[in-house]
Each structure stands twice: as C-alpha cells, then as structure tokens.
Structure 1
Amino acid sequence: MALDFSNLELIQGAQNIYINKIPSNLYKKFIHDAKLPNNASISFMWKCTKSNEGLAVTDDYIVQLTATKKALIYHFDNLSRVYFSPDQIFYLYDLNGDRCGTIEAHFFGLSNEAAVNDFNRNLIKEFFNDRIRTGGFVASTAEFCLQAIDRIEKLGDIGEIVAQDLDIKLDYADKIISIYDDFHDRHGHRMIYYNNLERYLAIAMCLKGEHFESLKIIDNIIKDDELPEPEYWYSLRGSILAEMKEWYTAMIWIKKAYDISKIATEKLEYQKNIRELKEKMRDNFLDMHPSERKVVLIADEINSIPKNSFTVLDKNFIPDGLIFSNGTYEEYQLYIAHPIVANTYIPISDYNANLAVDKFDEFFYFVQCLGAKSISYRKSSGASSTQQQKQEIKVDGKLAVGKGLIKPGVNGNYSSDKQLSTNIGEANSRFKTQTFNPNKKPYIPTGLNWYPNDINWHRLYQQRIEGNILSHHEVINSNSIKGLTSIENTNVKAAFKNFFVDAEVNYHKLVEDNFNQSNWIEVEILIDFESIENLQDNISDTENEYLTEAAFMLEDDGLIDDRERAALERLRTRKGISRERALELEKNITRNNPSKEDEYREEYIALRKSGILSKRDRQWLLRTAERLKIDSSRINEIENAIEESYA
C-alpha cells in the first residue's frame, strides 16, 4: 500500500532520499544487506553513496543499516515517542519512556549543520510521533483514489453497461458519482486525473445526459501543460462530442489524439474512430439542424473551425441524396444550402445568381399553369465586384422596368440607365418572348419550391382566380436573394483562411475563387394571361370522383368535419391528387352555388360603404356566414377580392 509520506518531501536540503518510488537496485541491495523480507514495503529510504549506511521506513518499523551492514530495527509498536535534538541526534524511546536508540541526522539525508534546522527537526519528529500515536501511517491520497477506482471497476464492465437500458446506465452513473463524492468529501478536491477517477466521473455525467458537464471536467483537465497521456483525454472528449452528434468536432479531437500518440495500435484505433465518425456524419447529415449545415466545405482535411462558420464534408464520404447545382462537387469549394430544398447545395461564388435562375424557372412554369398566353422576359447578367457603376443595356422589345413601361423607339430599341448595387463587368442581356395556347383553368401545380414561401405569388394566384388579372410584371434579381448575412460572410471567410493556413495548397487562390468571383443576374418578366372565361376546368375522372364525394359531405351542413376530412384525405391519397388540387376542387363546389356567396358579398359591401367595419358589423357578418354555411377560408377570399376594389 502506498502511504502518505508527502510531509517528508518538504524536508529542506536533504540529499539521497527517496519517498515511495525507491530505485529497484537500491531497494534490492538494502533488502539483502539488512536481511529484510523480499516483499518488504519501504516508503522512505536514505542511502549513502560511499558506504553501506542507509535508513528505511516501512509501515511497521524503522531500519538503520550501519557501515558494517548491521541492521538496527525499531518497531513502532514498541516506541512511545521520538525526539530530534539540536545536537543532530534523533532519539527513540521505548514504552517505559527509556531511550532505546539513536540515529544521526545524516541518516535522514541531512548532511550539514544548515540542513539540521528547526524546521526539518520538527517536521521529522512530528511525522514519526503521529505514526506512534495513531498506530499507523495514513495511506496516500493516490492509494485511496486507487481504492475508489477499484470499487467503480467492480460495478461492472463499462463497455457492457453502456449497451444496457437507460435505467441500468443511470444506476451505474449514480453509483460512480457517489463513490467520487465520498472520495472528495474525505480527501478534498485535487487534480487527480492521472489516476483515472476523473475519467469515470466524466463518463458518469455523459451517461446521465449531462454532456456539457462532462466536457467541463475534461476541459479542466486538459488545460494542464504537463498533462500525462493527453491523447487519452483528447479521444475521450471526442467520444463525448460524438454522443452529442457533433461529428466533425469529435473528429478534430480524435485526430489530435492520433497526432501525438506514439503507440501504433492506438493510432490504428484512432484512425478507425475517425472513419466511423465520417460515416455517421454522412448517414446523419440531412438530420442535422439547418444552421449547422448551412455552409459546407468539401475537403479531406480535419482542422479546427470556429462555430457559426461552416461544416466540412470529406470528399470520400459525401452524404447520399446530396445534390450539387452544377451536377458534381469540387474539392476546396464552399457551398451554401438551398433555402428551401434541404438536400441541394450551391457554390458560394454563384449562390445568388443560381437561386435567381432557379426561381425564374419555377415562376415561368407557375404562370404557365395560371393560363399565360404570352411571356416576354429580359435576362441580364454579368460579373460583380465591389464598387458601384451605372449600366446601360440596349435590347429589342417592350418590357416593364420599375412601375412603368419602356416604350420602343423608332428603331425598336430602348435604353435604361439604372443604378446597381454592384459594379457591372461585361454585362450581357438577352430578350425573349414565348407564346402559349392555354386551355385549362388556373391551378397550382405540384412540386413547387418557391411558391409556398412567396406571398406575392400567392397574391398573383388569387388575382387570377378571383379577379381574372390579364397581365403581370415581375422582376427577379439575384441581389435581392441573400445567401449569407454580412456577419456570416465575415465569419465564413475568416474560418476559411484559417482552415488552409497550414495546408499545402494555394489558399490565396482558393479565397479568390470562393469569395471574390461572383455573378449577378436580373430577369424582368411581362406576362399576358388568357381570360378565365376562355379556359376550361378540365376535371379528370379521378378528380370528378373526389369532387362528387366532397360535394356529398358538404350537402348537410356546408362543412367538412374531422371524420369526413379523414375519409377525403384517404381518397385523395389513393387517387394521387395533390393537396393543392383537392383544395381547388372543393372551392369549385362553392363557386358552382354562387347565390349564397352573392348574399354575403352584398351584405359586406353594404356595411363596408360606411367605412371601416365595426365590431358590431363583424359580428353580423359572422352570423350571416354561419347561416349561409360559407367556410372561413372562402369568406377571406370574398372579402379580399372586395378590398382589392377599394385599394
């Protein structure tokens, strides 16, 4: 057992003394010369380098070895006290109070008068008198810590316990914490990480789901510049981060462990852990919070990156289902997630322009489904830099710019001076008109990404079905689409530079490619619509079946209750009808019986003529709607259409 001889470490000016860690060759020689048992546990030793003299202390006795190899043994059980006099003699007294032995000061490593000072004499005297008085030396803190660890290890194999049910893991964690707290209460809080008790506490906190507390424990340990075996703690921190599903940060810490480890088997294990983390990140990438995967860098390096910058994807572990706007990915390229389509990523350098084109393509399809018979558009694009400059573009045709129309001159050209927010370099523009022969009433097609999030498009749809709008002007500009805020852009750029600062790549060119080259694009669109009166409803057989069923449910009370809605939803799914189309079909039922709606419309207009509707007016309208059995969504449509006429 290791005993607490730490007080003797305070002896000033002592030479050739050893406490607890006795050199093997000195230990064996002393045991042989003093004829002590081979398993004698010596906690303190002084050994003369020029003679056979020596002194050893065990838990039970003091052994003084003379120059002639005579061993004088003084058992603590036979002593009443000791005294260290100013004349440099250590006196021992038996149980009767008689002097039974003397030991010269140099046997304690005090080889000169300066060393035999009051401090040293009192320290040695009190140390041995405490042993005589208490009946035994106190075990060292390290020994008690080992005992605590032994108690924890007897609780079971941690590798097996982590695979058990939550109740078993929590009980195991609570027992570890109890053992740790008992040690802490008895021996105070010390930096004892070198004997693994703190490791078990960190694991216990992790099992209880207290990951941040677990990381605090480890972070407090790894602050020490003289930390023994830091790779162990780095890998443990990585394991806890992996439990928190912070895959990339976990890789960083395990790589730190790999870099400093000198044991081949350990390095192989760390490599295996990193690969497993890359696989987990690949398999769970799309489940990460959108803010954590908003910006990604394709690279196989593992370097520290600050939070709120970007996530790194290994080029060999690209998540399944990830789509890159240019068809494939490029190494060392930053990508930003599409704001609506979760699995699509766009290069940061072309993000705004790419989204503008994507939005234009969808809008083009959207207005076709609203019954467009002619779509004219001017698409302008160019390279952007950091200063402002005016742009003059000449194209053929007739398009709306701002709120007015640009009328063609004699030669059919028009000129537009426009102050842009960027410096236009090599701007180019093209004009195009397409005509169509629509025959289907306006509807919302399935698979739209931008429509659900754009209120202007919703308003355009309402204008088509309620007001029969015949023309519309739209501008889609890449400068109005923000991929990153200015703060986000600054953070990403700084992190990007730091990521490659030690890499063997031309990171100046990488910065140039990712941040200093960008394109702008603007599309102005003028749409002429076919009148709804000339369009047919074109209801298919499956849609007609749904329409008939919905009409039947509305017959009794004009409403579709939860039970009826569930039955309609099953029918809609079975027939492959989109939610948007089903809603449009249901609205058609109300439109085919306009008399009730006309009555409500007349009431609303009559009350509206007096000005803003009062609370009393609103109550009257509510009772009218209930009597006529018109649902709230249809009421909103009617009122909005009326309010448009007042705008």
Structure 2
Amino acid sequence: MMRQNFGINYNEKILFIRDTSFWNSRDQGLVLTDGGIYCIPDNDKPDEKIVLSWSIIQRVEYKDLVLYFWGYGDETDYCPIHISFFMKNEDNEKARRIGNSLARLFTQMAQCVEPEADPFNEAAEHYDQLITENKKEEAFQFAQSCKDREGLELFYMPVVKEYIIKGEYEKGISVSDEGLKKCDNDSPMAYMLYYAKYSAYEKLGNYTEARKLALSVSEGAAEDLCYPTSTIQIKGEASSDFKDYDQQYVSSYLEQPYNKRKVLLPVNKYTDLYQDYLSVIDIKELPNSGIVFPVGHPVACQLYVGHPYIKQKYLPFENYELELIEDKVREFCQLAQCLGAKEIHIECLNSSSSDRNTDTNQHISGEANYRFASASANNERSQSKHLIDEISQSINLHQTFIPNGQPHLPENLVWYPNEPSWQRLYHQRMQGSLLQHEERIETRKSRVLEGSELNSIEGEFKNLLLAANGKWSKKIEEKFELQENAVLAIHVQFASLEELTSAPSAATSTSSYTSEEKEYLSELQICLQENGEIPAGERRLLEKLRKHLQISEERALELENSLKPSLNENEKEYWNEYKLCLEDGGEISAGERRLLDKLRIRLQISEERAKEIEKMTNR
C-alpha cells in the first residue's frame, strides 16, 4: 500500500516507514528507500508530494525540529521536512539528538551516491560544441529536440533566433508563443522571447504588435538581462526600439482599417498596450498623427470615436452619436437643397420634449459582463432618454428655400456613397417626377459601437484608468450605457423641374469667383443686356480684357454660359420670336401679343413661364 500510495518503484528497497495517516490508511507520512526520500505531508493534497533522490542531495542539516535537505549548485535551495515525520512524541532534547544523528546519517548516505549530472548542462555543452565545430544546422536540430523536454525549455531561444536569422519570421513568432506557455510571464526567458518576437514583427512591418512587446520588455526586463550568445542588454535596446515603433505607429495610424482605430485613448504615459478595442497614443505624439479633434481637445484619459467616413476626424465619446446624426442630417439637407427643395421639415418622432429627464426601463437578458457576479443575468436598469431629447432640441427645424439652378449632386458628400435611399432619391429627382419625399434617419444606423463592444471598451478603459491612478465612478460608467434609438422624419417638398429651368445655376454664385472673374462677368452682363448677343466689336474688346485679366479661354466660356438662360428647345423658339418682335418696333403690339400667345400655347409654355422668358430679354 505504501508503494502504491507514494509511487515507489518495485526495484527500490524500503528502509523506513513513518505512517502519519488517519486510521493507518498508508496515504500520508514519510518513506526512506535506497533510492531516496518520499514524503506526503497532507493526504488531502497528494499532488504536493516531496520526492528527493539521494543523488541530488549534497548534505542534510538539523535546526529547530526541522531537517534541511540541501541540493547541489544553488546555496539558497533547500527542502525542509519536520522531525515529526521521522519520530513520534518528540521532546526538544530527544528531537535534537535524533535530528542531529539523522542529519549526519543522511549526509553520509547521500555521499555514497554519485551526483546526477545536470541534463541542461550536458545539453548546453553539446550544443556549444556543435556551434564551435560550425555545425549550425545540426545544432539547430538538436535545440529543436531539446526545447520540449522538462528542464530544457531555454532551448526555445536558439530555435527562435535561428528562425529569425533564416527570415522565417512567422515561424519564429509561432515558436516564441509556444515557449511563452512554458515559462512565467515575468521570467527572464519570457522577456528574451518577447524581444525575439517583436524583432520578427518589425521585419514583417507590423509595428503595432512590435510596439506592444517592446514596451513590455522596456518596462519589465532586468537591467542586466542579455540576449543569448550576445552582449545586447535587451531592456535598453527595447526602450530605443519602442520609440521608433511608436513614431511609426502614430504617423501611419490613420492608414489602419477603421475597426483597428475606431476608439482612441490619449494618455500622458504608456502603461499597457495590450488592448483589443482601444488604441492608446501618448497625447504628446498626437500632433504627428494627422488626427483632427474639436476645439479644446484632445484631453488625456478621455475616449474619442473616429468618424466612419472622414478618417482624420475624431469626436469625444460622450456625444459622438449626436455629432454623427447632426452631420448626417446636415448633409441630407444639403443634398435636398441642391436637388431643388422648396421646403424641409425635420422632427424627432420619439422625443420627450415635455420632460428632458424622462426615464425608460430597459430589460437586459443575456451573458453578464465583468460588472455582474453571475455567469448570466437578468437585470433591470433605468436608462435616460438623453440622446433623443438632445436631438429633438438641436435638429428639429423647418426651412423654406427659393430654389435656383438645375438640380445637381453637390460635391464632397460623405454619407451619400453609403446611403442607397439617398442615391435612389437623386435618380428619381433627376428624372423630374418627384415632388415630395420623406426620409427617416435612425441613430442606430449611424452608431459605430454596439452593446457587446461597449462592454469590452469599458473594461479596457477601466483597467487603464486605474493603472494610471485614475478614479472610476458611476458617472463614468453611465457613459457606456447603450443609448435608445432615435428616429428622425425628414419631409421634403421639391420644386418642379419646369420651375427651375430658367434660374441661374448654383455654380454661378459670385461668392465663388475671383475679383478678375467678377470684373469680366460684369462687362459680359452689360453686353448681353444691351444686345442679347455680343457684337463682333465688343467681342474683340472683351477678348483683350480677358487676356489682361489672365482668364483662360475655357474659363471665359464657362462664365459667359453661366449668364445665358437655360432654356429647352420650345422656350428658345419662343424667346427668339419675342426678340424679333422687339427689334421691329421696340414694343410688342396687340397683334404681336395675340400671335405670341397662340405660339406659346402651341409650344406648351405656361403664361408665367413666358413672362420669365420675356424678362430675360429685357434685363
């Protein structure tokens, strides 16, 4: 039973047994054999068994009721076993005599056995010999065979190093990860593997991962820790490398995919970069990033959310949803206005204007995050309708316009390429049949952070804030509550295309012209007002003026066309006949008016439109 419970080989000779188990169950106590010492101090913890072979014991000493078994090599390494495992009912004097006797006896027994050779020393000597003989590939294969054996884990280092030398960087990273599982996170071996791993990431151009690991080494490695077979002190090397990686990361930050840079946290000092949902950048480095913040920002230890379609624009986390929805609504109104809107009315359908502090209860069912103690939870929490009320107050509006120019698509639209309903609106409007339109815009469709993602961001932000000696409060926690969806209804009434055909193009606004172009336009208008057409003599003088003002021929033609009325074929025919009538007598006689009205009706031109065409001739 002792052999079975203590795991003693049949070939070993049992010399002594001290059974301290309850009811003599033989599963606790101490056994001496000709192979070594076996001790189970607690039968409730059989995995904490002590096994000392005589070959690893150098000497044994007794002090204060304890026998100390010392091994070879490390003078700080010993195994203490209480005297009670060797004798019953001890008193101090009896224990002292027996303890000293046993210490001398066990020392003599240990010295009768040849010390075991250190497997690592033997393997290291063989590896060094192969390197000395320039058998590098054989040494590499030998290191491969050693690294997974107990006590030889340090051979991961030469394996990883060789993969990096060979340019097999992905393989080097993979083997580094295997080695990191075999050691403590803050051990010298771990920091050497981190060093090798970030070197491989640098070669692959992955400065994001290299930056994380370099910071870990520069912050945690011992000052005198050197890379194997070199004099490089990796702590100083990592500090220098981290500065380079950080500059590279910051300068190319906006080139990353949106999901990799969605949420940004400026900090005063780096403490940890192992976040999956947050990008952490030193606030002093942000001027080199190209990121654009609102006035008064950025602020350290405050979160910012990137605009989904303007990559350099970042908004404060607290009100990013309101900013995005306002931006989206403004663009839609701009689109509608350029398509000939006469009236736009916007209302928030689910606003609570009577009470800005109205609460709604939201029932949450599902997996609990780090806030909850249980694995799953059903919780009731009160959620403020803050966003809906803010939108209701800031976006509710009613505008009327006097449309001018042909319907057109404005330039530099941000949301339009990703809004199919807006694209359909444009095509319908350009076909001329659409006079009224209602568009509904929901905040949830512009939301870039959802519930589960918010929970993860909150957890990472909390850890970083506490690590930086910041305070976590209920007020901060409330910022991560998922806002209720707000729905905006936008009603648009368009002018008919017929109403817009005579209006000057929006592109002709003089606010967009240079002073030289304005002077040239003024002379063009005078020429056209006097004659309707530009005579040859005036054309020659205008050409000289154009050259003097340094306006290109193409631009001059654009300016001239912008002053000419935009007419369809029927309207041009009516206009030409009206001008001919004026040329004959300077006035329209009653007979000419009667015939012009008949022509107008035949050409399907309304009376109001005819008056507009005649005004073009008279101005």
| TM-score under structure 2 length normalisation | 0.52
1:443 matched residue in structure 2:
408
Aligned mates of 1:332, 1:22 — CA distance in 2:
47
- Once structures 1 and 2 are overlaid, which stretch shifts more, 299-308 or 185-194? 185-194
Partners of 1:377 and 1:524 within 8 A in 2: yes
Question: What 5-or-longer segments of structure 2 have no aligned partner?
Answer: 1-52, 61-69, 76-102, 225-232, 363-382, 509-553, 556-567, 570-619
Q: 1:223 is matched by which residue type in structure 2?
A: D
What is the SS of the residue equivalent to 1:439? coil
Verify: 1:388 aligned to 2:388, yes or no. no
* 296, 314, 318: which one aligns with 2:264: 296
What is the SS of the residue equivalent to 1:141? helix
2:219 matched residue in structure 1:
259
> How far is 1:457 from its partner?
0.6
1:507 matched residue in structure 2:
472
* 472, 478, 483: which one aligns with 2:443: 478
Partners of 1:337 and 1:343 within 8 A in 2: yes
Aligned mates of 2:147, 2:345 — CA distance in 1:
84
Q: Classify 1:528/1:206 alpha carbon distance in 2 versus 1 (closer, same or farther; 3 Å).
A: same
> How far is 1:223 from its partner?
3.2
What is the SS of the residue equivalent to 1:11? helix
> How far is 1:421 from its partner?
9.1
Question: What 5-or-longer segments of structure 1 have no aligned partner?
Answer: 1-8, 24-110, 128-137, 155-174, 391-419, 542-574, 577-590, 593-647
Correspondence 1:157-196 to 2 at 5 A = 179-184=139-144, 189=149, 191-193=152-154, 196=157
What is the SS of the residue equivalent to 2:332? helix
Aligned mates of 1:436, 1:22 — CA distance in 2:
89
- Once structures 1 and 2 are overlaid, which stretch shifts more, 334-343 or 471-480? 471-480
Verify: 1:309 aligned to 2:277, yes or no. yes
What is the SS of the residue equivalent to 1:526? strand
Aligned mates of 2:415, 2:74 — CA distance in 1:
77
1:377 matched residue in structure 2:
346
- Once structures 1 and 2 are overlaid, which stretch shifts more, 498-507 or 265-274? 265-274
> How far is 1:251 from its partner?
3.6
* 108, 120, 129: which one aligns with 1:147: 129
1:234 matched residue in structure 2:
194
Alpha-carbon displacement from aligned partner over 1:551-603 (angstroms, at most 9, x marks no partner): xxxxxxxxxxxxxxxxxxxxxxxx99xxxxxxxxxxxxxx99xxxxxxxxxxx
2:184 matched residue in structure 1:
223
Aligned mates of 2:446, 2:191 — CA distance in 1:
46
> How far is 1:439 from its partner?
3.3
Alpha-carbon displacement from aligned partner over 1:257-302 (angstroms, at most 9, x marks no partner): 2334453876544332222121011122122222211111111333
Aligned mates of 1:139, 1:363 — CA distance in 2:
75
Q: Classify 1:517/1:181 alpha carbon distance in 2 versus 1 (closer, same or farther; 3 Å).
A: closer
Aligned mates of 2:210, 2:409 — CA distance in 1:
46
Q: 2:323 is matched by which residue type in structure 1?
A: N
1:11 matched residue in structure 2:
55
Partners of 2:55 and 2:114 within 8 A in 1: yes
Verify: 1:496 aligned to 2:489, yes or no. no
* 420, 439, 458: which one aligns with 1:455: 420
Partners of 1:149 and 1:197 within 8 A in 2: no
Aligned mates of 2:478, 2:472 — CA distance in 1:
10
What is the SS of the residue equivalent to 1:324? coil
1:422 matched residue in structure 2:
385
Partners of 2:147 and 2:154 within 8 A in 1: no
> How far is 1:464 from its partner?
0.9
Aligned mates of 1:11, 1:358 — CA distance in 2:
78
Q: Classify 1:294/1:205 alpha carbon distance in 2 versus 1 (closer, same or farther; 3 Å).
A: farther
Partners of 1:322 and 1:343 within 8 A in 2: yes
Aligned mates of 1:342, 1:422 — CA distance in 2:
29
Q: Classify 1:123/1:443 alpha carbon distance in 2 versus 1 (closer, same or farther; 3 Å).
A: same
> How far is 1:362 from its partner?
0.6
Aligned mates of 1:315, 1:228 — CA distance in 2:
32
Verify: 1:362 aligned to 2:331, yes or no. yes
Partners of 1:356 and 1:521 within 8 A in 2: no
Q: Classify 1:150/1:435 alpha carbon distance in 2 versus 1 (closer, same or farther; 3 Å).
A: farther
Aligned mates of 1:506, 1:187 — CA distance in 2:
45
Correspondence 1:88-127 to 2 at 5 A = none
Alpha-carbon displacement from aligned partner over 1:421-471 (angstroms, at most 9, x marks no partner): 936668646754433332322222221111111111112112212252112
Aligned mates of 1:374, 1:489 — CA distance in 2:
39
2:562 matched residue in structure 1:
none
2:244 matched residue in structure 1:
276
Aligned mates of 2:156, 2:444 — CA distance in 1:
60
Verify: 1:347 aligned to 2:316, yes or no. yes
Aligned mates of 2:358, 2:149 — CA distance in 1:
58
Aligned mates of 1:461, 1:369 — CA distance in 2:
10
Partners of 1:205 and 1:214 within 8 A in 2: no
Q: Classify 1:202/1:301 alpha carbon distance in 2 versus 1 (closer, same or farther; 3 Å).
A: farther
Q: 2:450 is matched by which residue type in structure 1?
A: T
- Once structures 1 and 2 are overlaid, which stretch shifts more, 232-241 or 445-454? 232-241
Identity of aligned residues (%): 23
What is the SS of the residue equivalent to 2:264? strand
| TM-score under structure 1 length normalisation | 0.50
Partners of 1:353 and 1:520 within 8 A in 2: no
Q: Classify 1:367/1:205 alpha carbon distance in 2 versus 1 (closer, same or farther; 3 Å).
A: farther
Aligned mates of 1:516, 1:490 — CA distance in 2:
9
Partners of 1:231 and 1:258 within 8 A in 2: no
> How far is 1:492 from its partner?
0.7
What is the SS of the residue equivalent to 1:297? strand
Partners of 2:180 and 2:190 within 8 A in 1: no
Q: 1:330 is matched by which residue type in structure 2?
A: V
Aligned mates of 2:197, 2:478 — CA distance in 1:
35
Correspondence 1:396-411 to 2 at 5 A = none
Q: 1:366 is matched by which residue type in structure 2?
A: L
Aligned mates of 1:141, 1:384 — CA distance in 2:
75
Aligned mates of 1:187, 1:247 — CA distance in 2:
28
> How far is 1:358 from its partner?
0.4
Partners of 1:248 and 1:311 within 8 A in 2: no
1:534 matched residue in structure 2:
499
Aligned mates of 1:139, 1:243 — CA distance in 2:
33
What is the SS of the residue equivalent to 1:330? coil
> How far is 1:335 from its partner?
1.7
What is the SS of the residue equivalent to 2:470? coil
Q: Classify 1:10/1:142 alpha carbon distance in 2 versus 1 (closer, same or farther; 3 Å).
A: farther
Q: Classify 1:477/1:120 alpha carbon distance in 2 versus 1 (closer, same or farther; 3 Å).
A: same
Aligned mates of 2:244, 2:357 — CA distance in 1:
43
What is the SS of the residue equivalent to 1:355? helix
Correspondence 1:21-40 to 2 at 5 A = none
Partners of 1:350 and 1:518 within 8 A in 2: no
> How far is 1:315 from its partner?
0.8
Partners of 2:147 and 2:153 within 8 A in 1: no
Q: Classify 1:186/1:299 alpha carbon distance in 2 versus 1 (closer, same or farther; 3 Å).
A: closer
Q: 1:277 is matched by which residue type in structure 2?
A: Y
> How far is 1:189 from its partner?
4.4
Partners of 1:299 and 1:313 within 8 A in 2: yes
What is the SS of the residue equivalent to 1:140? helix
Alpha-carbon displacement from aligned partner over 1:204-253 (angstroms, at most 9, x marks no partner): 4764443541432442354377x446543333333334445554554443
What is the SS of the residue equivalent to 2:283? coil
What is the SS of the residue equivalent to 2:193? helix
Aligned mates of 1:12, 1:360 — CA distance in 2:
79
Q: CA RMSD in A?
A: 4.8
